[in-house]
Amino acid sequence: MNGKAGPRTAGDGSTRTRLDRGRGALGPALELVHTGRAPTRAVLTAELGVTRATAGAVAAELEALGLIRVDARPGAAAGSQGRPSHRLEVADDGPVALAAQVHADGFRAALVGLGGRIVATAPGCETVDADPAKVLGSVVDAGAELLRETGRRCVGAGLAVPSAVAEPEGLALNPLHLAWPAGSPVREIFAERVRAAGIDGPAFAANDVNLAALAEHRHGAGRGARDLLCVATGHRGVGGALVLDGRLHTGSSGLALEVGHLTVNPEGRPCHCGSRGCLDVEADPLAFLTAAGRTPGPEVSLLQQSNELIRDESADPAVRTAIEALIDRLGLGLAGLVNILNPDRIILGGLHRALLDADPDRLRAVVADRSLWGRSGGVPILACTLDHNSLVGAAELAWQPVLDDPLGALTG
């Protein structure tokens, strides 16, 4: 877990000179390789708008930093006009970020490399203590153990929590399904635990659906979208996020896109926010199980129980009815968001992804019928594609300083 870089590969004088000109391109170049948009040096050259020599120096420097691998084998990949170009990949044995996620049914730690690749995970725990310091201590210890086992260098740590996280203090304002005190200083606690475990690098914390959206935008179903709306329910409650031009829209203090409290059923069940019939209580796994006439069991997570019912829907007409009821409520919420935000793509995660898969036509029809912009153009509604997208997104937070300035972040 030593944060210092090994001896830098000294380039020859001409490489240095070219790199001096290209240093500002290191971050953009790394981001292009990280997000899979520059598979070859020829594409990198074109995307950066620099000379081939500068792109070559930039790729060589990122390789010397241990971040990417440049494969120069002839015929490895075709460049422009069919000319073979060096293939660029993230390094297999490069640094990692420690990612942690806490949710209503447990917590999990993982190591995530560039490219959103999960390198190692620790088995999740299934109970969450009411004291955030205990939980965050355990999850950081699990991550530290993974770092010891793999011997990988760590660039920093990121935490995903099922709560709005207020900035700039990093307070979990409404961790309702965790029994944590409202306003818990989760980022500070997490950062202390990370430091105490001897892990180098900065520590970050953010809302889990925000992080899922960020990960999907960079590596999954959101790639290429300019105004990406993500709505998801993992375990309890419903979250939303918006990625604008590649950056999370967080609002003035980190609290934007609290979509869970849109009213979708005015006569519906009471919500903890004081209102009634919010998405939060009308379109999450508990609402689904209740609508299907099931009493949730304690054995597996509510999401897993819901997903199993949806997969097996033919067995019971009550399940079909529950699927349709939840699709209609979700669609109503999405239609309102489409009118306000005018996204160019919507991605759905957790139970909402399973509902989309179960009846995509019904969901798209509800959104189209109930929204101005949904009707005219049709907003694509897709399923999230990454496993553990909140964990990958937590790692993105820790990777961001490296993506902004690879040389500065890794060599101090």
For residue 390, what is the enclosing H or E element? Answer: helix 389-404
The residue among 260, 100, 91 whose CA lies nearest residue 174 is 260
Q: Which residue, 232 or 384, has its beta carbon nearer to Zn ion?
A: 232
User: Closest separation between CB of residue 190 and Zn ion, Å?
Assistant: 27
- Rounded distance between C-alpha atoms, residue 353 and residue 234, angstroms: 10
**Residue appearing with tokens 């993105």:** 396
Q: Which residue number, 143 or 336, has a Cβ lying nearer to Zn ion? A: 336
Residue (31 or 280) nearer to Zn ion, CB: 280
Q: How far is the CB of 371 from Zn ion (least distance, A)?
A: 21
Residue 137: phi and psi, rounded to 5, are -60, -45
Q: Which is nearer to Zn ion, 275 or 290 (CB)?
A: 275
Judged by CB, which is closer to Zn ion: 79, or 277?
277
Please say which residue, 114 or 271, places its beta carbon nearer to Zn ion: 271
Tell me how many degrees the CA angle 101-106-109 measures, rounded to the nearest 5: 40
**Minimum CB distance to Zn ion, residue 256 (Å):** 16
In the complex, least distance from residue 311 CB atom to Zn ion, rounded to whole angstroms: 29
Q: What is the DSSP letter of 78?
A: B
Note whether 306 and 338 are within 8 A (CB). Answer: no
* 85 neighbors 71 (Cβ within 8 angstroms): no
CA dist., res. 386 & res. 115, Å (int): 12
Closer residue to Zn ion, CB minimum distance, 134 or 269? 269
CB of 263 to Zn ion, least distance (A): 8
> Residue 273 CB, nearest distance to Zn ion (Å)?
3
Answer yes or no: are the C-beta atoms of 193 and 136 closer than 8 Å: yes
CB 303 within 8 A of CB 350: yes
Nearer to Zn ion, 190 or 288 (CB): 288
Distance in Å, CB of 67 to Zn ion, minimum: 43
Which residues of this chain interact with Zn ion, rule CB under 5 A? 261, 271, 273, 275, 278, 280
User: For residues 312 and 314, what is the distance between their CA atoms, to the nearest angstrom?
Assistant: 6
In this structure, are residues 121 and 390 in contact, taking their beta carbons and an 8 Å threshold?
A: no
Quote the least distance from Cβ 270 to Zn ion, whole Å: 9
Distance CA 175, CA 129 (A): 12
Report the candidate in 344, 341, 342, 350 with the shortest Cα–Cα distance to residue 384. Answer: 350
